[in-house]
Amino acid sequence: MNLIRLACAAATAVVLWTQPGLAQGGSVERLYILNCGEGVAGDISRWSPGVNVGKSMDFVDNCYLIKHAQGWMLWDTGLADAIAALPEGQAPRDPRMTHWRRPKTLAAQLEQLGVKPSDIKYVAVSHTHPDHIGNVELFPQSMLLVQKAEYEWPSPVGPRFKAEHPVTKLEGDRDVFGDGSVTIISTPGHTPGHQSLLVKLAKTGAVLLSGDAVHFKSNWDNRGVPEGNFSKEQTVASMQHMADIMAKQKAQLWINHDKAQRDGLKLAPEFYD
Ligand SMILES: [Zn+2]
């Protein structure tokens, strides 16, 4: 009888011990910003209608690598690494859009950090535009975290992901590691199943990674809704939802495509903790 009690107590202790976050309230060790593209947007009024008509702007494209006690997670995969081999980069069909280059591949940046593609437990994408999902198939074993509405959004060019790629189709927010340290936030509007990511770091504090819920700072300040967005109403509601979260969590907003902001941030191999 005593032995059984002892065994039960031990089992309970193991369960409590292995539940992340109970001890320190989160276990994100590092957040790296990776260079997943650089480009020039032809006309930024495309993203904020009526504002700065005809004005071009330098854009960047980021991926974010998270080292959590339970494993590695990649947020967005950027432009396809193959673009790095194109001397002129990738010109857009519409000159008002973005002419992209890829100064460094994602693969090379991971290698520099000593991270193998098979080390990545989760690959989550903000949405399925090509500058965010360009390298998903570098990680054929990683669990893909994408909203069901995004996964099932019909594409004129065929399926966005390989059918055999392991996937968790989300319907709303998701606490990725179960300890509140990394949370996917549903922010539809730019696309049907767009999502953003809230990361809580011990020293840096909370950071909200925008995805394309917003494209650059003045776009956020003006609550500009890009002309190609899936839903204007959802976009505006998602921006307000993000603002509410930022106020509550005292979170910084890191805007994926904002070059001026990225110029002031540390890129890998430096990191935030
Ligand atoms: Zn997009």
Tokens coding 178: 């179960």
Q: Calculate how far, in angstroms, residue 188's C-alpha sits from the geometric centre of ligand 1.
A: 11
Q: Is the pLDDT of residue 1 over 50?
A: no
Average pLDDT over residues 97-106: 96
Least confident of 21-25, 179-183, 199-203: 21-25
**CA dist., res. 40 & res. 59, Å (int):** 6
**Mean pLDDT over residues 250-261, rounded?**
98
Question: 110 C-alpha to center of ligand 1: Å?
Answer: 23
pLDDT at 13 over 60: no
Contact call for residues 125 and 136 (beta carbons, < 8 A):
yes
Q: 262 CA distance to ligand 1 centroid (A)?
A: 18
Give 215 Cα–ligand 1 centroid separation in angstroms. Answer: 9
Amino acid at 69: A
Q: What are the residues whose beta carbon lies below 5 Å from ligand 1 (ion)?
A: 129, 212
Q: What is the pLDDT of residue 159?
A: 83
Assessment of whether the complete model's pTM goes beyond 0.85? yes
Using the predicted structure, report yes or no on whether residue 265 has a pLDDT greater than 90: yes
Which among 212, 217, 216 has a CA at the least distance from the CA of 195? Answer: 212
Ligand 1 centroid – CA 228 distance (Å): 9
- Would you place residue 220 in the very low, low, confident or very high pLDDT band (cuts 50, 70, 90)? very high
pLDDT, tens digit (0-9, with 9 covering 90-100), for 150-189 = 999 988 777 889 999 999 999 999 999 999 999 999 999 9
| Helix/strand/coil percentages in the chain, nearest 5 | 25, 25, 45
CA distance 14 to 12: 5
pLDDT tens, position by position, 128-153: 999 999 999 999 999 999 999 999 99
Contact 253, 246 (CB under 8 A): yes
Q: Is the pLDDT of residue 44 over 80?
A: yes
